[in-house]
């Protein structure tokens, strides 16, 4: 199994630009999670989906952030416009929910730097 795939691995952009992060979950998993990790705030859950439907987006910091999951094998997290304080590592994770085996499997992360 290829695991959770994220792209790009690194992104450097200028303030005001649109940024799109991509995630491919593990095949067969029906839950997908987006996290942000910073030194100051640690690991924060931004949003998660069950069966492609957003369930909890209370962690999305503001309207500049949006996430979609058009199908079971793909999700995007978009920041528009980006700001320097958005610099962080963004992780995607997936799991098979509804069972006791539903641990989350994490991707390698996207390191975002907004100048």
Partner 1 sequence: AQSVTQLGSHVSVSEGALVLLRCNYSSSVPPYLFWYVQYPNQGLQLLLKYTTGATLVKGINGFEAEFKKSETSFHLTKPSAHMSDAAEYFCAVRGGANSKLTFGKGITLSVRP
Point out which residues bind partner 1 (CB under 8 A): 4, 31, 33, 42-43, 45, 48, 50, 55-56, 91, 93, 95, 97-98, 100-109
Contact 47, 34 (CB under 8 A): yes
Q: Any idea of the CA torsion for 3, 72, 35, 9, to the nearest 10 degrees? A: 50
Please say which residue, 50 or 66, places its beta carbon nearer to partner 1.
50
Please say which residue, 58 or 71, places its beta carbon nearer to partner 1.
58
Shortest reach from residue 43's CB to partner 1, in Å = 5
Shortest reach from residue 81's CB to partner 1, in Å = 27
Please say which residue, 43 or 115, places its beta carbon nearer to partner 1.
43
Shortest reach from residue 56's CB to partner 1, in Å = 6
Shortest reach from residue 16's CB to partner 1, in Å = 28
Q: Where are the beta strands (DSSP E) in 1-115?
A: 5-7, 10-13, 19-24, 31-38, 42-50, 53-56, 65-71, 74-79, 88-95, 105-106, 110-114
Contact 76, 49 (CB under 8 A): no
């Amino acid at each position: 199994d290829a695991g959770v795939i994220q792209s790009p691995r690194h992104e450097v952009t200028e303030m005001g630009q649109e940024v799109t992060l991509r995630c491919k979950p593990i095949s067969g998993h029906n839950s997908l999670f987006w996290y942000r990790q910073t030194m100051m705030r640690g690991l924060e859950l931004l949003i998660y989906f069950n069966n492609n439907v957003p369930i909890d987006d209370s962690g999305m910091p503001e309207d500049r952030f949006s996430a979609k999951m058009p199908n079971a094998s793909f999700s995007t997290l978009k920041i528009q416009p980006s700001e320097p304080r958005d610099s962080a590592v963004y992780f995607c994770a997936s799991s098979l929910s509804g069972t006791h085996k539903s641990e989350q499997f994490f991707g390698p992360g996207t390191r975002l730097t907004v100048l």
